[in-house]
């Protein structure tokens, strides 16, 4: 009886109100804090708020937590800052060349003659593209069939050994490839095709093709193996042979992934320095006719690597070499952007599976 009396009237009203307020608070805090804190701090907050000492502990904890979060945020922003700085400093150092020579003359100029301060980089761009195209012909022609073989035909035991082995070879430093190309490839091509030294766009293409092979093989293999098994099983169940399945189902489904792999490989090949520096030669000209792979030439990267050592800091040559760097960076970024778009479309396509 007594208990009932106590709970009726004023007391019960007070308790009810408190409960309401707490409920409201709980909901509001839940919504606000759940995502940041996992939602579990809230109970403590309400509980401890009746004890001041613990509240202070809570606050200290909160401060520490947010400090840690800010720290992680700062590290995460660092990569944005680095990319921004790379662009900013390259453009800053390259802009005098663009200003002095004129952007259009710089990009379309046919002649690079440092002593006379004539800077045109069209030959460099053309040779870079030629080498990249040749390298891709080698890398795709051999790499994609290899990827299909590894993922669809080879027995599992072979695949387990070969795939890591091929991936391992992607780590071989480019200077080692350059050295091998200089000693073996150039020495072989010279007498075989009756060239003066054997240094040629062809040598660069072959070398970069071999360099890009591991990347193309392993990324294409990944693209093929993400094609859902149901597709293949469906085709096989309809009576198609393994090869028909590969030809009509697996390969078309993996095509965009393979394309992205190839474009990524192109980005790598065009930015590759050390190998081409040693085997392509250092004469800045467009071969005549422009598809003559037996001529020597000089790609963008080799120009920078070859001349930066002797260019005085602050001279026009120094700035022009930075201008070459800016051009290279822009080409690579366009290629990467295309690869990214292709990849995103691929993800959308297989997103549901």
Q: Report 195-214 residues binding another protein (CB under 8 A).
A: 195, 210, 213-214
Contacts to another protein from residues 284-303, by CB under 8 A: 292, 294, 301
251 binding another protein? (CB under 8 A)? no
SS3 content of the chain, % helix, strand, coil (to 5): 80, 0, 20
Binding mask 88-117 for another protein (x = CB under 8 A): -xx-xx------------------------
328 binding another protein? (CB under 8 A)? yes
Beta carbon nearer to another protein, 9 or 309: 309
Q: Is 332 helix (H, G, I), strand (E, B) or coil?
A: helix
Shortest gap between Cβ of 21 and another protein (angstroms)?
24
Beta carbon nearer to another protein, 136 or 217: 217
- Provide the token pair at 14: 């007070």
Residue from 82, 99, 110, 341 that binds another protein (CB under 8 A)? 82
224 binding another protein? (CB under 8 A)? no
351 exposure class (CB count in 10 Å sphere: 0-12, 13-18, 19+): exposed
Q: Which of 158, 331, 148 is nearest to 223 (CA)?
A: 148
Binding mask 4-43 for another protein (x = CB under 8 A): -------------------------------xxxxxxx--
Residue from 143, 198, 265, 281 that binds another protein (CB under 8 A)? 143
Site stretch for another protein (CB under 8 A), options 96-104, 107-115, 250-258, 305-313: 305-313
122 binding another protein? (CB under 8 A)? no
| Upstream peptide bond of 289 is cis (omega within 30 degrees of 0) | yes
Q: What is the dihedral of CA 146, 148, 149, 152, to 10 degrees?
A: 160
CB-based contact 294:193 (threshold 8 Å) = yes
Shortest gap between Cβ of 105 and another protein (angstroms)?
22
Q: What is the dihedral of CA 302, 305, 311, 312, to 10 degrees?
A: 160
Q: Around 280, how many Cα atoms within 13 Å sit in the side-chain half-sphere?
A: 36
Segment (H or E) for 112? strand 112-113
75 binding another protein? (CB under 8 A)? yes
Q: Which of 250, 248, 205, 200 is nearest to 229 (CA)?
A: 250
Q: Write the CA distances from 83 to 88, 110, 303, 322, integer angstroms.
A: 9, 31, 23, 16
Shortest gap between Cβ of 339 and another protein (angstroms)?
9
Beta carbon nearer to another protein, 176 or 283: 176
Beta carbon nearer to another protein, 130 or 321: 321
């Amino acid at each position: 009886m007594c208990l009932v009396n106590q709970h009726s009237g004023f007391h019960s009203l007070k308790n009810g109100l408190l409960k309401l307020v707490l409920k409201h608070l709980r909901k509001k805090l839940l919504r606000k804090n759940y995502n940041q804190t996992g939602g579990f701090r809230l109970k403590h907050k309400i509980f401890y708020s009746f004890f001041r000492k613990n509240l202070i502990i809570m606050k200290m904890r909160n401060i520490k937590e947010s400090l840690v979060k800010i720290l992680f945020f700062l590290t995460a922003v660092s990569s944005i800052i680095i990319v921004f700085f790379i662009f900013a400093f390259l453009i800053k150092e390259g802009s005098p060349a663009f200003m002095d020579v004129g952007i259009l003359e710089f990009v379309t100029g046919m002649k690079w003659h440092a002593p006379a301060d004539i800077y045109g980089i069209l030959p460099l761009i053309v040779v870079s593209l030629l080498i990249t195209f040749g390298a891709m012909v080698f890398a795709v022609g051999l790499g994609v069939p290899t990827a299909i073989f590894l993922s669809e035909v080879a027995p599992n035991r072979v695949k387990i050994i070969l795939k890591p082995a091929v991936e391992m070879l992607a780590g071989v430093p480019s200077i080692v490839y350059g050295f091998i190309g200089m000693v073996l490839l150039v020495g072989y091509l010279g007498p075989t095709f009756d060239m003066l030294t054997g240094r040629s766009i062809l040598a660069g293409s072959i070398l970069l093709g071999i360099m890009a092979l591991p990347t193309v093989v392993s990324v294409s293999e990944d693209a093929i193996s993400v094609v859902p098994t149901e597709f293949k099983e469906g085709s096989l169940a309809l009576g198609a042979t393994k090869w028909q399945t590969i030809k009509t189902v697996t390969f078309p489904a993996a095509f965009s992934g393979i394309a992205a792999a190839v474009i990524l490989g192109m980005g790598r090949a065009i930015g590759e320095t050390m190998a081409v520096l040693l085997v392509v030669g250092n004469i800045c000209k467009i071969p005549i006719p422009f598809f003559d792979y037996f001529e020597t030439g000089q790609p963008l990267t080799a120009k920078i690597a070859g001349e930066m050592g002797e260019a005085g800091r602050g001279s026009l040559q120094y700035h022009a070499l930075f201008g070459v760097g800016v051009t290279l960076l822009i080409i690579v970024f366009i290629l990467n952007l295309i690869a990214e778009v292709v990849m995103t479309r691929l993800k959308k396509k297989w997103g549901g599976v």
